[in-house]
Amino acid sequence: MKLNGKFVLRQVAGNWVVLPLSDATVNFNGMIKLNESGVMLWRLLEQGKDREALADMLTTVYDVSREIALEDVDEFLNKLGRAGCIDLQ
């Protein structure tokens, strides 16, 4: 699971959003809004971190079990996959 580099994370009017660059295949109109944990997960993906590492972060920062953290990570990755930020193998 790697970001394909066709999207960038930016702060817009005080909100964090993911915006498509020109070679992105956009399945949605405009932008994906990310909350604080979404931003942290995105940053980790940018650094090439894997699913396990993302879940580690969630369990460290938030008071959640590993099971819940992995579910949240998968949900996040699915969302990015649907939007075209991740090339599904």
Partner 1 sequence: MLCRIADLLIEVPEAGGMSPRCREYLTNQQGGADITIRADLYKSEKYGGAGENTVAYMESCIQFCRQLIHFDGLYLHSSAVELCGKAYLFSGPSGMGKSTHTRLWQQLFGDAAQVFNDDKPALRRLDGRWFAYGTPWCGKDGINQNKKVPLAGICFLRRGQENTIRRLDEMEATARILSQTMRRFRDVERLDLLLSHIDKLVKEIPVYELYNKPEPDAARLSYETMRQGAEEAGL
Which of 30, 36, 63, 89 touches partner 1 (CB under 8 A)?
30
Taking phi over 0 as left and psi of -120 to 50 as alpha, with beta for the rest, 47 belongs to alpha
Position 22 contacts partner 1 (CB under 8 A): yes
Strand order in the sheet with 15-20: 7-12, 15-20, 32-34
Which of 1, 2, 27, 29 touches partner 1 (CB under 8 A)?
29
Q: Which is nearer to partner 1, 29 or 89 (CB)?
A: 29
Which residues contribute to the site for partner 1 (CB under 8 A)?
8, 10, 12-15, 19-24, 29-31
